A and B are shown apart, each in its own frame.
Chain A
Amino acid sequence: GAVVSQHPSRVICKSGTSVKIECRSLDFQATTMFWYRQFPKQSLMLMATSNEGSKATYEQGVEKDKFLINHASLTLSTLTVTSAHPEDSSFYICSALPRGTDTQYFGPGTRLTVL
């Protein structure tokens, strides 16, 4: 149980294009989902907290217009990197918090490379 999927697992795009990453909780409902960014050999940096049906809460320093988050249902959240640039290249990981629990379950991550 408590499986989180991400799609795609790897994406390469040209500078200036937009990329959408999906995060799904497969066997539970998640009232809250989180998006993290991880640079090589570093820890996870929380980008935003996403609650179903409401606007995401972004961490300080994260551009909300660049990283669009939509939490359309209790099992799906999407992160769209708009007008991507090479500096946006990173490993993006989502996590989901099952309703009424205290443990986040993580997706396998998405490797974004912007050329």
Chain B
Amino acid sequence: AQSVTQLGSHVSVSEGALVLLRCNYSSSVPPYLFWYVQYPNQGLQLLLKYTSAATLVKGINGFEAEFKKSETSFHLTKPSAHMSDAAEYFCAVRNFGNEKLTFGTGTRLTIIP
């Protein structure tokens, strides 16, 4: 069964600092991987996705993530945090041929002015 682990339920970074949100997956076959962002009382917005093309994926709002098969990781990064990045971030995995998404527990990102 596929699963996703997000290390760190809360991450705080200073404005302008590097953002690193960790995601490790468990899957028996090469998966599709997604990062979604959720602002308070809203649905989820797709940040980026990996679907077996380039291992370094660029998304919206300056975020990117790198698929590392050897480490079973798909960490989300952004070089310089902005106040508007404060939100909840979810990593999700989906196996090819299976429409369901399995979500991690989420990481709440706080930006310190």
Q: Which residues of A contact B (CB under 8 A)?
A: 4, 6, 32, 34, 41-44, 46, 49, 91, 93, 95, 97, 102-109, 111
Contacts and interface: CB of A to CB of B under 8 A. Distances in A.
Given A109-B42, A109-B43, A111-B41, A104 B105 contact: no
Q: How large is the interface on B (under 10, 10 to 19, 20 to 34, 35 or more residues)?
A: 20 to 34
Given A43-B90, A46-B100, A103 B43 contact: no
Nearest to A6: B43
Nearest to A32: B99
Given A102-B32, A106-B46, A111-B41, 12 more contacts: A4-B43, A42-B105, A43-B90, A46-B100, A46-B101, A49-B99, A102-B94, A103-B34, A103-B46, A103-B49, A107-B43, A109-B41
Interface string B27-66: 0000010101000011111100101000000000000000
Contacts of B51: 102
A108 B42 contact: yes
A106 B38 CA distance: 10
Interface of B: 32, 34, 36, 41-46, 49, 51, 90, 94, 99-101, 103-106, 108
B59 to A, nearest CB: 12
B81 to A, nearest CB: 21
21 contacts: A32-B99, A42-B106, A43-B90, A43-B104, A43-B106, A44-B44, A46-B101, A49-B100, A91-B41, A95-B101, A97-B99, A102-B32, A102-B49, A102-B51, A103-B34, A104-B101, A106-B36, A106-B46, A107-B43, A109-B43, A111-B41
